[in-house]
Amino acid sequence: MTDAVSLIRAKRDGQRLADDDIRWLFEAYARHEVADEQMSALLMAIYFRGLDRAELRTWTAAMIASGDRLDLSSVGRPTVDKHSTGGVGDKVSLILAPLVAACGAAVPQLSGRGLGHTGGTLDKLESIPGFRASLTPDETLAVLAKAGCVICAAGSGLAPADRRLYALRDVTGTVESIPLIASSIMSKKIAEGTGALVLDVKVGTGAFMTSYEKARELAETMVALGEEHGVRTRALLTRMDVPLGRAVGNAVEVTESVQALRGDGPADLMEVTLALARQMLALAGLAGDKTGDPAAAIADGRALAAYRAMVRAQGGDPDAPLSQAAHTQVVPAPASGWLTGLDALKVGIAAWRLGAGRARKEDDVSASAGIICLAKPGDRVQAGQPLLELRADEQERFGPALAALEGAATVSDQGPPPPVSPVIEHVGPA
């Protein structure tokens, strides 16, 4: 007979877990026959010993089986989603979902909220007056049918085991385990019922994965999991050493996203967005279709129209003014020359301290707080010229934010840095 202590010992000692034992574990955990202390011990053993490919496939399948799966068969369009591992100024989803929908796919995007220095897609959208991120499965399908895309929170019925395991990982120092990260992300994405998935795996100072090697390992692991569970999956590795675009925050990122949908987005933001859109449309079988050109969908207004339709369908008013911060403060350039670096992590922490992020899941966020990058690496700056504009609802937030920005900007007089593409490489079957 299987028992939790035997599984903990087996994994602690480097043995692999049998498929039946993994399935028993999740069923017993759901019945509260396995205690949180025991599951925590097993997670720590996995952190040190890992899971092989077969174990991880079964582990993820058990997480999916712990709850419901959305049935998207009634949508009538090929379905494709995108997931980002999170970064600073990463408002890609707000542009990408309606853009891909405008090209003929259906995009059922289940997103999350920000924690720490990384922003949350739902927090950004909820800065739009009336916007509802929490939808029932029927409401999710209705918005998808009406607008072609939906961006909402994952319902409590999808992979509920992940919610419990994530809470344990958060307090036991096991968040960074690649098998546990991969199964957490992919169990929810597979349960949502999408036919295809493109992953944006960030790498750099402002990313969850700061090393290229770890980011690539995570990307390869998630692509394999998706393919093994019948979801066509690809990944892009993209840079997160510098904030993406110019806006970092909630309402300020919504404003920049709308500008991008009007054809006026920053070059780095648009390069990442269009690269992901092309991958999504290829997986959906729409790349060769006459309507499947994402750049054309922005140019002719289809993408903006899809965004406005989605916002309305989720209760928001796309024409309503967004909240403005009560206070602003400018950070000057430290020297004259070429701006060669703008540390994404420091900018993200500063935006968090201004009120745009949260330290705990239950914290509130400010819709109007944030940072505008008035210059980006590659620009020539003069000492004292405005480099960053900080926005906050309370004046006292500027001190901690300015402390976080100490040394964030690097200026050189050696000439402009060579241009670097934010897209590093493609991971997955050709």
Nearest to 292 by CA among 19, 80, 76: 80
Identify the three-state secondary structure at position 251: helix
- Cα(394)–Cα(40) distance, rounded to whole angstroms? 40
Burial 68-84 (b: 16+ CB within 10 A, else e): bebebeebebbbbbbbb
For 365, the token pair is 């966020």
- Cα(280)–Cα(43) distance, rounded to whole angstroms? 33
Report CA-CA distances (Å) from 353 to 160, 244, 350, 370. 31, 19, 5, 9
- Cα(88)–Cα(150) distance, rounded to whole angstroms? 22
Nearest to 284 by CA among 1, 82, 46: 82
- Cα(170)–Cα(219) distance, rounded to whole angstroms? 21
For 314, the token pair is 């989720």
Nearest to 357 by CA among 85, 123, 132: 123
Place of tokens 């959305």: 70
Cα 33–chain centre separation = 34
In 159-255, where do the E strands start and end?
Answer: 196-203, 232-239, 247-249
Place of tokens 């968090």: 352
- Across the strands, what pairs with 91? none
Q: Which residues are catalytic?
A: 83, 162, 169, 184, 188
Q: What is the DSSP string of 27-57?
A: HHHHTT-S-HHHHHHHHHHHHHH---HHHHH
- Across the strands, what pairs with 373? 388
Identify the three-state secondary structure at position 164: helix
Phi, psi of 267 (to 5 degrees): -60, -45
Q: What is the DSSP string of 403-418?
A: HHTTT-EEEESS-PPP
Cα 241–chain centre separation = 16
- Cα(204)–Cα(271) distance, rounded to whole angstroms? 17
